[in-house]
Amino acid sequence: MALPLAISGQDVIGQARTGTGKTYAFGVAMLQRVGKPRKNRKKPRGLVVVPTRELALQVTEDLVVAGGKLGSRILTVYGGRAYEPQIEALKQGVDVIVGTPGRLLDLVKQKHLDLSQVAMLVLDEADRMLDLGFLPDIERIIKLVPAERQTMLFSATMPGEIVQLSRRYLSRPTHVRAENADADSEDVSKTTQFVWRTHRMDKIEIVSRMLQCDGHGLTMVFCETKRACDMVSEQLKERGFAAAAVHGDLGQGQREQALRAFRNGKIDVLVATDVAARGIDIDDVTHVVNYDCPQDEKTYVHRIGRTGRAGRTGVAVTFVEWEELTRWKVINNALGLDFAEPVETYSTSPHVYADLRIPEGTKGVLPRAQRSRAGLDAEQIEDLGETGRHRTRDRRDKDERRDKDDRAERRERPARNRQRRRTRGGQDQSELATLDAGQALDNDLAVEGDILAPEPATVRTPEPAAPAETVITEAVTAEVPAPRRARRGANKVALTEALAEVAPSAVEDDGATAPAAQEALIGAEEFEATAPPAPVVPEAPVARPEPERITPPTPFSIIFQSPDLATDDDVAPSAASERVQQRRRPSYQRPRRG
């Protein structure tokens, strides 16, 4: 119905259920109006704006199939990919552009894209773009295209915002609604719907048993959040199912890898957010599971519309928790369904096996004999030159990557070569003076190098006969604390004995030269090291004068002694006296001319 109006150049608002061919309704008309490509025409003449990247790829594939005989140049423009390939394609010339609003505006801002010759503008899934907050971007894009153009809006649901938008930017649009009572009853019969009230901890068990039912093909599981998608896909993998997640936190290469693996049958379960609920057309999707209750009736319609497409049959199962009953009743009343009171359901409930045709005795783990899918790893990731960050799909991949990095770091880390050096007082022993002959002889008497010496002992010499020897022994026999190592203590004992033998001959000439003889014998440095430290006499503290104490005559009297402020200077004048002096001063009088 919309195709003749679109070919004639009228503005159209198309509304139809998912899977009824809305893409070809505007695609064929756009390709027919654009015509065959020309060498001198490089600016696009057709523009299709879509909300999601996956939908942009799907619309492009449909347009390529429809315009195969014409040879139309169709370019897909969306975020998450490198700019360079898209810029090169724009320089060579394109006829139709399919893209998301953000990347389109980026290319226009960089002056790589010119929309001044667009003759046909299409907004696909227009209501979804309004929900995602694309209305300001859509208005900017509409202002960039010529005023004389053909504009078409297509969506499965048409809220009031779409009607308001059509009044502002469309010229006498024709609203085409491809629905009737017979079609509604037929569609309901093709898609079997089940709504169950379940517990949060029992959902994954029900899904695991449903994936083993008779006639099971590809299955899409819709979750509300990105974290829930990762959790559900990880648990299904642990149970033996070939599953993958698709949501906004993943890179574009990972999202396209999951969709290709799902289309090719390498995985049979796709866990996604609402990003994949709009316009994704995949054959052989037999089951759709609303793991989390939808937010509104439009989301419910688009989710279950992934199955039962193009005349096929499908099964849609919706889980409703106890706190979500009110929301579901609103959806049920808006769509006129018969599930106002969902049945309380568990994984062991008999009606689960009967409604979904699950064999008796099926458990929540897929037997190894039935694990025939190749899995997500069998599909290669295409290098798209992604502009965003790469994110791992699940916790297990993240842990494996972290372990690989740790092992690589251990291999690259150089071996430690620690060289221990003995120090004494913060100085290296190699920097100290070499031992003299007496110390070298005593090294053999030391206990194997590192044995600690006993507590500090007093070194005593035999009593000398001459009085001059008394001076020497008083200087040598002073209490010298032994060092920490036994080797040092043995050397000092040998040194003391050598001094006792040399002391009488040195004193015979002059008793006052005994210390000089010792210094000449053992060396100046060693003599300073062995001599006892001179006693330090503390300085006497300076006595401070105590302030004069004032004794009151009686304990009840108060005495205040002010500091002596008397000086030779005059007392500072007060403000009143200064004003009086200023009045007495003669005022300045100008001399009269005369």
Are residues 354 and 224 part of one domain? yes
Domain that holds residue 467: 435-527
Are residues 187 and 82 part of one domain? no
Q: Count how many Cα atoms sit within 13 Å of the Cα of residue 482 in the half-sphere of its side chain.
A: 19
Are residues 257 and 129 part of one domain? no
Which of 527, 545, 560 corresponds to the end of one domain? 527
Tell me which DSSP letter residue 559 carries. Answer: -
Q: Does residue 573 fall inside a structural domain?
A: no
CB of 79 within 8 A of CB of 103? Answer: yes
Q: Does residue 536 fall inside a structural domain?
A: no
Using CB atoms within 10 Å of the CB of residue 169, give its burial: 0 to 12 exposed, 13 to 18 middle, 19+ buried: buried
- The closest of 128, 64, 127 to 96, measured between CA atoms, is 64
Are residues 337 and 272 part of one domain? yes
Separation CA 356–CA 441 (nearest Å)? 99
| pLDDT value of residue 448 | 42
The DSSP code sequence of 195-218 is: EEE--GGGHHHHHHHHTTSTT--E
| pLDDT value of residue 325 | 94
Residue 573 CB neighbours (<10 A): 11
Residue for token digits 């920490």? 484
Are residues 26 and 175 part of one domain? yes
Residue 124 sits in a domain whose CATH number is 3.40.50.300
Q: Does residue 277 fall inside a structural domain?
A: yes
Are residues 264 and 279 part of one domain? yes
Are residues 348 and 265 part of one domain? yes
Q: Does residue 67 fall inside a structural domain?
A: yes
Q: Does residue 464 fall inside a structural domain?
A: yes
Q: Does residue 561 fall inside a structural domain?
A: no
Q: Report how many domains make up the chain.
A: 3
Are residues 483 and 347 part of one domain? no
CB of 193 within 8 A of CB of 318? Answer: yes
The DSSP code sequence of 96-157 is: EEEE-HHHHHHHHHTT----TT--EEEEETHHHHHHTT-HHHHHHHHHHS-SS-EEEEEES-
| pLDDT value of residue 461 | 45
Which of 150, 179, 208 corresponds to the end of one domain? 179
Are residues 106 and 198 part of one domain? no
Query: Structure pTM?
Result: 0.58
Residues of the chain with pLDDT under 50: 181-188, 390, 432-438, 440-480, 486, 505-513, 517, 521, 524-525, 527, 594
Are residues 220 and 103 part of one domain? no
- The closest of 261, 276, 192, 185 to 226, measured between CA atoms, is 276
CA 280 remoteness from chain centre? 29
Separation CA 270–CA 291 (nearest Å)? 12
Q: Does residue 417 fall inside a structural domain?
A: no
Q: Does residue 250 fall inside a structural domain?
A: yes
Sign, CA dihedral 89-91-92-93, equals positive
- The closest of 83, 86, 67 to 75, measured between CA atoms, is 86
Residue 72 CB neighbours (<10 A): 21
Are residues 77 and 165 part of one domain? yes
Are residues 379 and 300 part of one domain? yes
